[in-house]
Amino acid sequence: MKPDQTEDLVHDFQYVEDDRIVMTVGLVATFFFWGGHTQEKRRALVHCVEAFQEQYGSELRWGCDPESWKTKKLNDPKLPKLRDYVASLDEDDCIEWHLSSSNHREEVAEFSITCMTERGWQEDQMSWLTFQLPRHHAFESDLRQEFELLLSTCVEKLDPLHGQAGLAAVTPLLEVPYEGDVFDVATRYRTLYVEGAADLLCAAHGPKSINWLTIVGDVLAERMGGQQAYENYCRTLGVDTTRLGKTLVIRAGAVPEISPVSEAPPAGYVRANTALRPLRDGAYDSMGGGSIHGEVRFNRCTSDLWIRRLDAPDTWPPLSFAGLGKEPLGQSPSKNVKLKTGDRCEIHGRYKYSDAEAPELVLLPDDVAPFRLRYGAHGQFVGREAVTWELVATL
């Protein structure tokens, strides 16, 4: 899809209320990383935010006071500098930071950056940084280079476990009232990325899905036998990859696409999805919250369908949402099937580690069964173990 074709669809994917844009498509990059409670990683985070401000600071208007979360203009002396604020915290404090270019909180920002870090006392809780730009930055060569340079800085400084970047549905800072709009537009554009309510909560279990750029940290790649083994696996699938810091970046195409569901999904996105699948979180919760006025939002069932949207034809959107229920779909297997790490899958389905309570993987025929990783409380890589995966539902 060419840039002008994307702009031709603005009337369909951009939602306006009271003369303010409340949902549209933006260029977004998101990183999930460990160690946000440490001084070293906090310095890295400050570097990334300051790099964003150096590049796009002239566009920004306001930020959230980190203590009260009230709106403060950037020139308000009561809004601290992030570097100074971070210096005042101990490891059990959480850094929450948000800067925006919008006129107020109730409209979509063209430029914004947001982060939240884990606390020292927390376990299995990741830290998170995301920033967004106007979508035309994805298509104009000079602007795209600036975007990718900032993305490279964030990857090299934060050493993320995983992340992604590309065209995504974007809403105001308080996104909950617009989850129905996001669901609606997601049913019409298959490769438009949708960030979900449980993304940070579930991040430690692996990436949710692919985007134009999908970032796989070397620790996560241990699930496939290590960085080189995973790079080789991607190569056999014809996937375009680049080494960046301690990560492998999977590129689905020269520029991002949103891919209307009336068209075949781009081949590069399908290949990237295949490469990521053995690393993907197979037990993601829900991308949406509860419905307020009866509008349809993502639940666990439809979130699972969206995550699997590129796995097989006609997965997303389903022919009908009626009668789907809230839980992920699947049928009880007719026979006992087990896969050992390194085995090739033969049956499309949900798989779990023998001692686990819930499925952890979705695999398709010819996918490779991965290792299982062991982490410390803050994501310290302890090791990988070859395990047996058991088929618990067919798809």
Assess whether 195 and 338 both reside in one domain.
Answer: no
For tokens 């001084």, the residue is: 39
Backbone φ and ψ of 75, nearest 5°: -90, 5
pLDDT for the residue 354: 82
Assess whether 366 and 232 both reside in one domain.
Answer: no
pLDDT for the residue 355: 81
Assess whether 202 and 261 both reside in one domain.
Answer: yes
pLDDT for the residue 3: 61
SS (H, E, C) 159-173: CCCEEEEEEEEECCC
Among 275, 308, 329, give the residue marking a domain's end: 329
Question: Residue 172 in contact with residue 182, Cβ under 8 Å?
Answer: no
- Residue 32: name the closest of 384, 381, 276, 379 by CA: 379
pLDDT for the residue 235: 97
Give residue-wise pLDDT tens across range 362-395.
999 999 999 999 999 999 999 999 999 999 999 9
Assess whether 241 and 335 both reside in one domain.
Answer: no
Assess whether 175 and 257 both reside in one domain.
Answer: yes
pLDDT for the residue 361: 96
Among 286, 310, 329, give the residue marking a domain's end: 329
- 256 burial (CB, 10 Å; 0-12 / 13-18 / 19+) is buried
Assess whether 242 and 316 both reside in one domain.
Answer: yes
Assess whether 321 and 339 both reside in one domain.
Answer: no
pLDDT for the residue 357: 80
Residue 389's CB is within 10 A of a number of other CB atoms, namely 25
Assess whether 121 and 236 both reside in one domain.
Answer: yes
Assess whether 343 and 317 both reside in one domain.
Answer: no
Residue 180's CB is within 10 A of a number of other CB atoms, namely 20
Assess whether 47 and 109 both reside in one domain.
Answer: yes
pLDDT for the residue 356: 84
Domain count, the chain: 2
Which token pair is 315? 């997965």
Assess whether 231 and 355 both reside in one domain.
Answer: no
Sign of torsion, CA 372 373 377 378?
A: negative
Among 329, 351, 382, give the residue marking a domain's end: 329
Assess whether 81 and 8 both reside in one domain.
Answer: yes
Low-confidence ranges of the chain (pLDDT < 50): none
* Residue-range definition of the domain harbouring residue 25: 3-329
User: Radius of gyration over alpha carbons of the chain, in Å?
Assistant: 21
- 80 burial (CB, 10 Å; 0-12 / 13-18 / 19+) is middle
